[in-house]
Amino acid sequence: MASIGVKVIRGLFGAAERIAPRVGGKAAFELFCRTPNPRRLSDGERRAVNRAAEFMEGARHHRLVLGRRCVMVHEFRPRGGRDNAGTVLVLHGWRSRTEYMKALIEAYRDAGYRVMSLDLPGHGGSAGRRLNLASAVTAVHSVGEWFGPFAAVVGHSFGGAVAVNAVAGSVVGVPPLAASKLVLIAAPSSLPVLFENFGHILKLGPRVRLALAEEVRRIAGRPLDEFVGSRQLAETPVPTLVLHAPDDREVPADHARLFATAGDHVRLRWAPGLGHRRILSDPAIVKDALGFVAHQTQLH
C-alpha cells in the first residue's frame, strides 16, 4: 500500500498531467535525482561506515571542484611495496559510498594496483543532494583527467551504469574515459527501464513522461532511448565482466542478460544467492573481479 506522501505526490503529478506537463516533467526529474541525506544513516549503514574507519584513514583524500560543488576522491596506494600494476577506478552505487567497496579495493591494492574510489555527487564525502547520470559522468571525467588512464573501472549498481556511459562517451560534451576493462557488478543496463519503473511508481501520465524524457535530452544531450548499456558496449568493445545475482531484487537479472548481448567482449558470471549488496564482499566474486583485470583468468 502506498504511503500518504506517495499518494500526495501522485495527486500533484496527476494535476500536472492535465495543467502543466512540462512543469511536471521537470519536477519528476528533480525528484528522480534527489539523493538521501548522507548524514542520516541507518543503523546498518552507520555500522558499515564505522567498521571501515581505519581502512578510510589509510587513504589519501582529494577534493575536486566541479562548478559550484566538490566531489571526494579517495586514493589507496598498493600494499607491501609492490610495483604499481596500474590504476583502478571504483564507483559505488546509489545510496552507497566508498566504505561499501572495501573488499574490492583491498583486493586490488594487494595485487599491486593503485585504487581511486569516487564518492559520487550527493554521496559519502561529496557535496550536494542531487545526482544524475550526466553529473556522475562529468565527475568521473574529472577523476580521469587527474588520475587516469585506468587499467579498469569497477562499478556497482548505478556506479556500473556510470562506468559504461563514461567509457562510451554518451554524455554530449564529455569526452570518453580512457579505461582498458570494465567490471560491472549488479549494474542496470537500461536507463529507459529505470525511468519507466519510476513513472509507474508515481503513476505519471504520458505527457509528464514525455516531458521527463525531454529533461534527460536537455541535461545529457541525447534522447533517453539511447541510454541502453548493451548498445553502448556494442559500440565500445572494451573487455567487460558482468557479475550479477539472479535473485537481485533491486536490479533484476534481465539487465545482466541485456549487457551480455553486446558481443563476445562481454562475459557474464552469475552469483546465485548474493542479492544486490552481499555480492560486493563475496570472496569468489572479489577473486573473479580481480582476476579479470589482472589476468583474464578462466571464470568458474
Q: What is the mean pLDDT of residues 142-151?
A: 97
pLDDT given at position 179: 98
Burial class (CB in 10 A: 0-12, 13-18, 19+), 57: exposed
Q: What confidence category does residue 41 fall into, taking pLDDT thresholds of 50, 70 and 90? A: confident
Query: Which of 75-83's residues contact partners 24+ apart within 8 Å by CB, and which partners?
Result: 75/114, 75/115, 75/116, 75/147, 76/105, 76/109, 76/114, 76/115, 76/116, 76/117, 77/109, 77/114, 78/109, 78/111, 78/112, 78/113, 78/114, 79/109, 79/110, 80/110, 82/111, 82/112, 83/112
What is residue 299's predicted lDDT score, i.e. its pLDDT? 42
Q: What is the rounded average pLDDT of the residues 66-72?
A: 92
Q: Look at residue 82 in the predicted model and tell me its pLDDT.
A: 66
Q: Which CATH superfamily is domain 48-190+228-294 in?
A: Alpha/Beta hydrolase fold, catalytic domain (3.40.50.1820)
pLDDT of amino acid 300 = 38
pLDDT of 157 strictly over 50: yes
Query: Residue written as cell 533484476?
Result: 252
Residue range 215-233, pLDDT digits in tens: 999 999 999 999 999 999 9
Tell me the pLDDT band of 42, cut-offs 50, 70 and 90: confident
The pLDDT tens digits for 82-131 are 667 899 999 999 999 999 999 999 999 999 999 999 999 999 999 999 99
Per the prediction, the chain carries an average pLDDT of: 94
Note the pLDDT tens digit of each residue in 233-272.
Answer: 999 999 999 999 999 999 999 999 999 999 999 999 999 9
Whether the pLDDT of residue 288 is over 50: the answer is yes
Share of residues in the chain with pLDDT > 90 (%): 88
CA distance 119 to 138: 13
pLDDT for 2: 60
At 183-221, the pLDDT tens digits run: 999 999 999 999 999 999 999 999 999 999 999 999 999
Q: Where are the domains of the chain?
A: 1-34+191-226, 48-190+228-294
